[in-house]
Structure 1
């Protein structure tokens, strides 16, 4: 394993090749070289001068499910949004039984933090690969244009940082993830290295009739599939260092059958004290991302009033959905105005994954009960003979 890690960390342009996926590695390496050359030959001083005149703002990242403070409608013209994103390799517990994984994280959380900008803004990411890490990393923004989503321009070894600027041209919600190349792409993503960014229209969201639409709260739910190796007795294995599980994890990953399917990094992360909060009458925007597998979000006791299932805010939202599909490698958004108090279960409606693998969250809603919407006419009692 030390040899594998040496290979992964020792090549500035190369990628780990432990399977036959040389095509992806070649594409990524070629894309890096071409992007570097293009940057050197087509630098635009006039454009750089114009961007330098734009106002700058630093976005303060917060741990999911929370979303950074933001204006739903942009004030003024485009800005340069500066975001510092450290990469942290850390051991995390993913269930109450003590199962562990050496997670590869953006900003120390699984999923990585939500970012929020407006259409036309420039996103300036300072990606930092901490010196305590063992692996090479980068970042691929599905919202960005060119250079493998920025992945070809952001490869950093432990102890390095890189700054990438890209323009947010497509309003919607999008996945970002690490994509070093070859088998390391799924390895890093299934070890937690993914998140989402929301690009709001400058004039805010619109409902299905094209009218302005606002939300009172927003939450980010990152669904994560984990593939934890077991020993000969069936117990989940623990490893001393990041990357030590590589050979074993790859075998589990090839089954395409996760051992855990969780929201926000751990079974039960969004229940109990971690449950999301709301009040009757409030409209809540839920952003749901899954970097690898299809999922079917469902709010038990509620509905998707407005659903941008494929994530594009340029498209008319669907209305009044019971369950919606988030395709693997994408994010979507749902808005709902709560009308009854209580605890709502927000689940992946593959109920095997929700109940048995961990893909369940709770929303605790405060307020007054409305008998017109629902009431218990008779309490449970013995069946009466007729």
Structure 2
């Protein structure tokens, strides 16, 4: 690829002057320019990455300190080709090569020194908008970076909760759809209630020029995105990424309280997030948490389905009294059965027939089969 300076790239894409909504330029590329960008990225496609699906268990541990600190955090924009499902490849845009991007975990009052890197092998400019930031575009205008360069931002996290971060350059909907989003968790000063296991998921929809399951290289389809008609609706970047049909299921022990962090990148669809065979024992809508530490009074209790708008998050906790396979789904169920939206959690332990007897009449009951 010819060397591209930051100035030339950003001018070509209309990034300059006063920032507007989400830190983007008021003069975003037109449809022809967007198509040129997409084609350039596809021409740069090389080897197929082994995986873009983030491991739901690979997240930072709870914070156990009572003073503020400063974190040095680097996010790398990675444009990668990977499989959505076997035989179907797609050009993703990611933070650190995974979907969702790495979960950032800090404490209210902490300072973040953020560096965003855009490797020289990339084609497109990128940036990051943190919903946990006071400041223009959540930092997007300050972090825009061309291929081959890096940029930096410092912010203090003054309010607690679980918040999305995402790319917000022009055509931000395309960048988010292709995988550029993640979660930043700002724990309140007194921390979160203790649990036994924590999991991290991200939902997004992908718009391609093929049908779901159609083998071959799928290319991004701007018209489908404009019409909000996705080919796939995914949890962690792949069809059934962490279900038994793919890389899962995830295993927990009977009796564990399991906390689930979920971010809906969208860019367009709300999620109706439901654990089949379980309930959100305590749930925190839009990722909100109490500053006074009274989680019991603040939480919604025994919620069957959490509405998670695009650009928002949820925190939900499940109890696991019986062995079972919990299916985490968007209860707009055609997205599960036909578009790839499913993860599974296996609870390992001993049967408790007084709570649930799956063999009361000698037959087997495995539950609904999506994957």
Partner of 2:203: 223
Q: Once the 2 structures are TM-superposed, how far is the Cα of residue 86 of structure 1 from its aligned partner? A: 1.0
Per-residue deviation at 1:101? 1.3
Q: Give me the whole-angstrom Cα distance separating, in 2, the residues matched to 1:309 and 1:8.
A: 39
Aligned residue for 2:8? 10
Matched, 1:78 2:68: yes
1:110 aligns with 2:99: yes
Asked if the contact 1:64–1:111 (Cα under 8 Å) also holds between the matched residues in 2, the reply is no
Q: Is the 8 A contact 1:105 1:112 kept in 2?
A: yes
The answer (yes or no) to whether the contact 1:8–1:16 under 8 Å persists in 2 is: no
Aligned residues: 324
Q: CA deviation at 1:70?
A: 2.5
Q: Tell me how large the CA RMSD over aligned residues is.
A: 2.9
The corresponding residue for 1:167 is 156
Give the secondary structure class of the aligned counterpart of 2:24.
Answer: helix
1:296-318 superposed Cα distances (whole Å, 9 cap, x missing partner): 11111111000002211128110
Do residues 195 (structure 1) and 182 (structure 2) align?
A: yes
Is 1:69 the counterpart of 2:69 in the alignment? no
- Structure 2 equivalent of residue 378 of structure 1: 361
| Range 184-193 or range 267-276, more displaced | 267-276
Q: Does 1:302 align with 2:278?
A: yes
Q: What's the TM-score, normalizing by structure 1?
A: 0.77
Q: Name the SS of the counterpart of 1:165 in structure 2.
A: strand
Look up the match of 2:223. 251
Do 2:233 and 2:335's aligned partners in 1 also have CA atoms closer than 8 Å?
yes
Q: Show the counterpart of 1:337.
A: 319
- CA deviation profile, 1:259-295 (whole Å, cap 9, x unmatched): 0001101012111243222111111110111122200
Change in CA separation of 1:166 and 1:281 when aligned onto 2, cut-off 3 Å: same
Stretch of structure 1 that moved more, 7-16 or 143-152: 7-16
Listed as ranges, the gaps of 5+ residues in structure 2 are: 27-52, 292-297, 365-371
Equivalent runs, 1:235-384 vs 2, <5 Å: 235=214, 238=217, 245=219, 249-272=221-244, 273-291=247-265, 292=267, 293-314=269-290, 316-375=298-357, 376-380=359-363
Asked if the contact 1:137–1:178 (Cα under 8 Å) also holds between the matched residues in 2, the reply is yes
Aligned equivalents of 2:111, 2:55: Cα separation in 1: 23
Q: Give the C-alpha shift of residue 364 in structure 1.
A: 1.2
Contact 1:83 1:123 in 2 (8 A): yes
Q: 2:81 aligns with which of 77, 91, 94?
A: 91
